[in-house]
Structure 1
């Protein structure tokens, strides 16, 4: 049985017609970073498991050599161990890529906060003052 889990729709683009907002974008970046870190941890777990399984397969193949088991079966065990090591290597590469994506998303969140956080706070400091619609201050 597989441990594959269906993709989450938490990061999907919202289908409602609500205008983009400072808080919505910040929340989505936090969710993206959290999801990426969870994926990175899962890939690390997979990598450790595949390395352990590859080592155990090699040990079994060695024991089969000592017990003079048919060489073609021992060769299949060694091939399986080699493939498990390749999966471990690939999952490590995926984990590294996810780590980089998480750092980029966190940098985006930080830059967004630095650039627009003060504007958001000022706009919400006096709720009695009506603010312009998004895009009003955009320069062309």
Structure 2
């Protein structure tokens, strides 16, 4: 995992203006996908929690042994805990989606005009970092 991280940071031209816009867009899309998946899982787990609670109530009404009713109720509670986790994941994914969008917008605002000027020019451009003081 550390190797792929260092490769991404050291991939030179793949960290240019257009490549970074693509990476920010991919991050934003991944966060959007995570939000959708987390919402679907939360809905499914809520239905499962409701079903388990209904089964526990019906079992209690049918005078099933209390140990079994409690076990079914525990399963329903476990599903409810998963719903809470999905909601927290949904919140984090929403924050990441928004942050990636802001980052992409700021990157475009800062470097978009420079990129447009450079690509409009026929003159060969220096590599990034050439003009930095050492």
| TM-score above 0.5, yes or no | yes
Q: 1:76 aligns with which of 64, 71, 78?
A: 71
Does the residue aligned with 1:69 lie in a helix, a strand or coil? Answer: coil
Is residue 130 of structure 1 aligned with residue 124 of structure 2? yes
Give the CA RMSD over aligned residues: 1.9
Higher-helix-fraction structure: 2
1:1-140 alignment, distance < 5 Å: 13=8, 16=11, 18=13, 20-126=15-121, 128-138=122-132
Q: Do the aligned partners of 1:57 and 1:81 also contact (CA within 8 Å) in 2?
A: yes
Runs of 4+ residues over 4 Å off in structure 1: 14-17
| Structure-1-length-normalised TM-score | 0.85
Q: Do the aligned partners of 2:14 and 2:20 also contact (CA within 8 Å) in 1?
A: no
Per-residue deviation, 1:98: 1.0
Q: Do the aligned partners of 1:58 and 1:81 also contact (CA within 8 Å) in 2?
A: yes
